[in-house]
Structure 1
Amino acid sequence: MDPFLILNLIWVGLLGAAALRWGAAPERMCVAALFAMTFGDPVYHLLVEHGPTYGTVDLGHLTMDVIVASVFVGVALRSNRVYPIWLAAFQLVSLLSHFAREVTDFFPRLAYGLMSYGPYYIILLIMTLGIAAHARRSRYLGRYRSWRISSSPSRDSRPRTQPSG
């Protein structure tokens, strides 16, 4: 078995436990997306009976990257956190690697591999730091909102009265 796969499964499993223990909804949603991608990848390769391909775009990985990017972007837009923006950015790099590979046949296989798999390890690190930052912030501030409110009330929202006279 691939040692990187074992490391990935352990790391994501620990992130899942940490998100359940110290995280709130944004942490749990992001880790759930990572969990599905990490544990779904070996299952996908068992079903299609081939390893990663770098000569062409792998539609299974493209689909997984689209789904995870959608989750990260959605959480980044609505959560009261900064780290999901970073998660979304790195996941979008991975997603765009598939389109860069499709645009040209001269895209080096190593570059495609690094662009599509490299951000995953940065995402794991960001997620680890994000859960730690949330836990530290919760310890000092107590419970705080997980999600942003749609907008702040305007000062001019009070009805104006006309001066008499």
Structure 2
Amino acid sequence: MSWTWTFNIVTMLLLVAASLRWGAGPERICAAVIAAMDVGDRIYHLVVERGTIYASVDVGHLVSDLLAAAIFITVALRANRVYPLWLSAFQLVSVVSHFARQMDSKVGILAYAVMNYAPYNLILLTLAGGIWAHARRERRYGPYRSWRTSSNPSRAASPKSPPTG
């Protein structure tokens, strides 16, 4: 077991615990995605009985990254938070790394590995900051909506809008 895997698991467990203690729906969903990525990665490598592929696209990691990106984007579009937008952006860098590797075999192994794994560490930091910001805001101002309800009403439906015609 490598130190990076141990660090990822410990960090993931701390984020899950923090999201359960101080977070709300968006924080818990994002922490669950990270946990699923970590656990899913271990199961994937046990099933295929090999380590990560860097010489070509690792299809298992591509699928995992696409699923995580889809969930982060969904949370970003619905949550009453800003940090899920950052999570989505970092996760999309991981997704793009697979396509960059496939399109040009000159993309080096190190470049592929960094583009694929560095965003994960930024996601961990961003989620930690998001949980902290949410808890701080609730302490200062009290509970607030976790999810956006809908877009603002149109001016025509607003009672203060000037008459048309």
Alignment-derived partner of residue 49 in structure 1: 49
DSSP 3-state at the match of 1:150: coil
Alignment-derived partner of residue 101 in structure 1: 101
Amino acid at match of 1:48: V
| 1:156 CA drift (Å) | 2.8
DSSP 3-state at the match of 1:56: coil
CA distance in 2: counterparts of 1:2 and 1:127, whole angstroms: 23
CA distance in 1: counterparts of 2:162 and 2:5, whole angstroms: 64
DSSP 3-state at the match of 2:71: helix
Where does structure 2 lack aligned partners over 5 or more consecutive residues? none
| 1:105 CA drift (Å) | 1.2
CA distance in 2: counterparts of 1:50 and 1:160, whole angstroms: 67
Larger Rg: 1
Alignment-derived partner of residue 35 in structure 1: 35
CA distance in 1: counterparts of 2:83 and 2:44, whole angstroms: 28
Alignment-derived partner of residue 128 in structure 2: 128
The number of residue pairs the alignment matches comes to 162
DSSP 3-state at the match of 2:51: coil
Amino acid at match of 2:52: P
| 1:148 CA drift (Å) | 1.1
Per-residue CA deviations over 1:108-164 (Å, capped at 9, x if unaligned) read 1100000001100010000101100000001111110111121122443159999xx
- 1:70-89 mapped onto 2 (5 Å cutoff): 70-89=70-89
CA distance in 2: counterparts of 1:2 and 1:42, whole angstroms: 12
Amino acid at match of 1:99: F
DSSP 3-state at the match of 2:18: helix
Alignment-derived partner of residue 62 in structure 2: 62
Amino acid at match of 1:109: I
TM-score between the two structures when normalised by the length of structure 1: 0.94
Amino acid at match of 1:60: G
Q: Does 1:3 align with 2:8?
A: no
Amino acid at match of 1:104: D
Q: Does 1:14 align with 2:14?
A: yes
CA distance in 2: counterparts of 1:153 and 1:104, whole angstroms: 47
Moved more, 144-153 or 130-139: 144-153
CA distance in 1: counterparts of 2:163 and 2:119, whole angstroms: 57
DSSP 3-state at the match of 2:149: coil
Alignment-derived partner of residue 139 in structure 1: 139
CA distance in 1: counterparts of 2:143 and 2:44, whole angstroms: 39
